[in-house]
Amino acid sequence: MALKLDTIIYHQSPEGVELSLSPAGPLSRGLAWLIDFGLRVALYIIIGICLSWAGGIGSGLTLIGVFLIEWFYPVLFEIRSGSTPGKKAIGLQVVHDDGTPVTWSSSLLRNLIRSVDLLPFFNMVGLITMIFNNRFKRLGDLAAGTVVIYRQNQYRESIIPSSPPLPPPIPLKLWQQRLILDFCERSESLSKERSAELATLLPTLTGEKVPQETLIQYGNWFLKGRGKRESDKV
């Protein structure tokens, strides 16, 4: 049996495309945690100063603010972009094991269990747990089915096979156009049989022609022709 020389996770999507995820180790995650910790402390100080004039009521409100920031600071950022400011600075992202974005429930669960990972001090339980599994998961990640990975560049120009632009037979909404463009972008990484199988799921658009080539022509129309502007009005 060949030895595994890296920690890259491979996952096959329902479309048959193999995704690769690179888990982040303790050092990079520790640096991200330190950045987030510094930001949280700064927020605590600002809240305390702003409410110091209110006496006992101000102290109570400060404690409430500290509680909310401590437990919901990571959740809000993870739901919004997959990364807290600290993780974003280091180039990390939280996703599910299959590479999909985290949900409210999984983010809440992984962060609530952080109270256990912090024991007895300085995240020792979390560190030990990360060392003894090949995806560097702490207890919160194990419970929520999440993993912290190195962020991949998601903002790239759409590159699809060149083909004569062809307008679709019916107006399409933006999400439908995006679905076809996603297929076009992945078409060259799929086998001919798999590409045809997926394309035939849209008989209203492809008809009896070569289905995958028809979708690629639609994709070229969205990017180069007038179809995108017309479909935006739908």
Q: Check residue 229 and give its pLDDT.
A: 41
Q: Quote the percentage of the chain above a pLDDT of 70.
A: 83
Comparison of pLDDT for 232 and 67, the residue scoring more: 67
* Three-class DSSP category at 227: helix
For the ranges 12-26, 130-144, 172-186, the lowest mean pLDDT is seen at 12-26
Contacts of 139 by beta carbon, 8 Å cutoff, 6+ apart: 113, 116, 117, 125, 126, 129
* Mean pLDDT along residues 141-154: 86
Please check the confidence at residue 224 and state whether its pLDDT lies above 50.
yes
Tell me, rounded to whole angstroms, the distance of Cα 30 from its chain centroid: 20
Mean pLDDT of 181-205: 79
Mean pLDDT to the nearest integer, 138-150: 93
* DSSP-derived 3-state class of residue 16: coil
**Residues 117, 137: Cα–Cα separation, whole Å:** 11
Task: State the burial class of residue 228 (Cβ atoms within 10 Å of its Cβ: 0-12, 13-18, 19+).
Answer: middle
Q: Is 183 exposed, middle or buried (0-12, 13-18, 19+ CB in 10 A)?
A: buried
Residues 6 or more apart whose CB falls under 8 angstroms from that of 121 comprise: none
Please answer whether residues 228 and 180 qualify as being in contact, where contact means their C-beta atoms are separated by less than 8 angstroms.
Answer: no
| 54 or 135, greater pLDDT | 135
pLDDT in tens, 200-222: 777 767 665 677 888 888 888 88
Question: Is the CB of residue 55 less than 8 Å from the CB of residue 48?
Answer: no
